[in-house]
Amino acid sequence: MTEPCVFCAIVAGEAPASTIYRDDAVMAFMDIRPVNAGHVLVTPLKHEMSVLSLDDDTASHMFTVGRRVAAALKDAGVRLEGFNLFLANGTVAGQTVFHAHLHVLPRFTGDGLGFTRNANVRMPPQSELDETAERIRRAGGWE
């Protein structure tokens, strides 16, 4: 049997959620463990683990709704000087709920959040960037 999905349960109304928005493709609700106050999740109604498995319209719509939520947060009195739209795809990227979702994270000075770079970050030569770009173009069919 497959693991029950908590976001599918929320979509189905079988698990509680503090809902902000819902349409026929996505819904937005409060994260149960906010990293900052006002932390919202936008998730498709359809269960897909990876954002790559969603159709383009649904994936784009997640971003659109994420923007709208971000725009509403300040008027809602949330402490916010900026925000991150963040999506973790795969365990190695930090995904813990395997139903695709976009985080809307309010940010303010000194909130203690942030990505850290590994210590050996370097600036590769242009030729190396060109070569990688070419491989991605080829893989994407953009040549």
Determine if 124 is a binding residue for ligand AMP (CB under 6 A): no
E strand residue ranges, the chain = 19-22, 26-30, 40-44, 82-86, 102-107
Taking CB under 6 A as the binding criterion, the range among 29-37, 51-59, 124-132, 134-142 that sits at the site for ligand AMP is 29-37
Given the complex with Zn ion, which of 39 and 99 has the nearer CB atom?
Answer: 99
CB of 17 to ligand AMP, least distance (A): 6
8 binds, among ligand AMP, Zn ion, none (CB under 5 to 8 A by kind): Zn ion
Taking CB under 6 A as the binding criterion, the range among 26-34, 48-56, 112-120, 127-135 that sits at the site for ligand AMP is 26-34
Question: What is the footprint of ligand AMP within residues 79-108 (CB under 6 A)?
Answer: 88, 94-97
Closest by CA position to 63, among listed 46, 86, 81:
86
99 binds, among ligand AMP, Zn ion, none (CB under 5 to 8 A by kind): Zn ion
Cβ neighbours for 50, distance < 8 A, ≥ 6 positions apart: 89, 90, 100
Letter string b/e over residues 125-139, b meaning 16 or more CB atoms within 10 A of that residue's CB: eeeeeeeeeeeeeee
